[in-house]
Amino acid sequence: MQASSPILFLDTGVGGLSVLGEVRKSLPQAPILFAADYAGQPYGQKTEAQVAARVAGLLGRVTERYRPRLACIACNTASTIALGMVREVLEIPIVGTVPAIKPAAENTRTGVIGLLGTAGTIRQQYVDDLEAKFASGKTLLRHAAPELVGEAERKLRGGTPDRKVLAAALYALSAQDEAMALDQVILGCTHFPLLRKELADVAVHDLGWSPDVQFVDGAAGIARRIAHLLDGETFQRTGPDRAVTTGDLDHFLMLKPVLTTYGIDQIERF
């Protein structure tokens, strides 16, 4: 393994940054390759077969070209659908991002948990299994909120998220909960933690939720897992960290100011 070999993050867009941000804190010297499959976005509206084929193909090509030491699938949709399959075909360690049902179930006092994700994620058997394993005896309310992906994309390009859209997604969860006992909301799409502040604000001020409701995601746990897997490895940057996209380069370049804050200064088409 070369010291310059990067850690790869793969998502369809800016969502991967919510995971990268946590990994940066524990591994500040690690070279990073951030891959955004804009040509494939949204994964959440695709079939399982489409997502699995796309993720496996793309990871294979990116891995061959850039030789990462580890790949983090920084996308809940791709992870809940294709993690097992991708692990079988790639030789490097693969870390997935799946809805943080375990910590939410540990922290809930009321026993009622909400899950916001893409349509692709919330219907997965993988999520049923996490619920059965970690949240049995609790209530898990699920809602698909693909429109929040676009709101996060807009925010990171300098726009303002639409409070009505955020409120509608949260309301769809609380409307399933007659007693309004929900006290944890899992942000089960990596785009959603980028809207955490706005969601929390809308919940309290526009919907009248208790300020005690917590918005949880798994990024810190993923960062710990990656740091553990790479324990003892050496890192050395031989150039700037890089972000690549399968989509339109000009659209991607609008993210330059944000990517710079994550330490990424080279932006190109893949």
Binding site for ligand DGL (CB under 6 A): 11-12, 15, 41-44, 75-77, 118, 121, 149, 189-191
> Would you say 35 or 209 has its CB closer to ligand DGL?
35
User: How far, in Å, CA of 164 to CA of 154, rounded?
Assistant: 15
44 annotated ligand binder: yes
User: How far, in Å, CA of 149 to CA of 32, rounded?
Assistant: 23
205 annotated ligand binder: no
- The least distance separating ligand DGL from the CB of residue 188, rounded to whole angstroms, comes to 7
Give me the active site residues, please.
Answer: 75, 189
- The least distance separating ligand DGL from the CB of residue 178, rounded to whole angstroms, comes to 29
User: How far, in Å, CA of 23 to CA of 26, rounded?
Assistant: 5
> Would you say 43 or 262 has its CB closer to ligand DGL?
43
- The least distance separating ligand DGL from the CB of residue 192, rounded to whole angstroms, comes to 8
262 annotated ligand binder: no
> Would you say 5 or 52 has its CB closer to ligand DGL?
52
- Asked if residue 138 lies in contact with residue 209, where contact means CB atoms within 8 angstroms, the answer is no
If residue 242 lies in a helix (H) or strand (E), which one and from where to where? strand 241-245
Strand 241-245 to 139-144 pairing: unpaired
- The least distance separating ligand DGL from the CB of residue 149, rounded to whole angstroms, comes to 5
The dihedral sign for the CA sequence 12, 196, 219, 177: negative
97 annotated ligand binder: no
Closest to 48 (Cα-Cα) out of 119, 104, 132: 119
> Would you say 181 or 258 has its CB closer to ligand DGL?
258
Residue 12: DSSP 8-state: S
Indicate the annotated binding residues for substrate. Answer: 43-44, 76-77, 190-191
| Residue numbering of the annotated binding site | 43-44, 76-77, 190-191
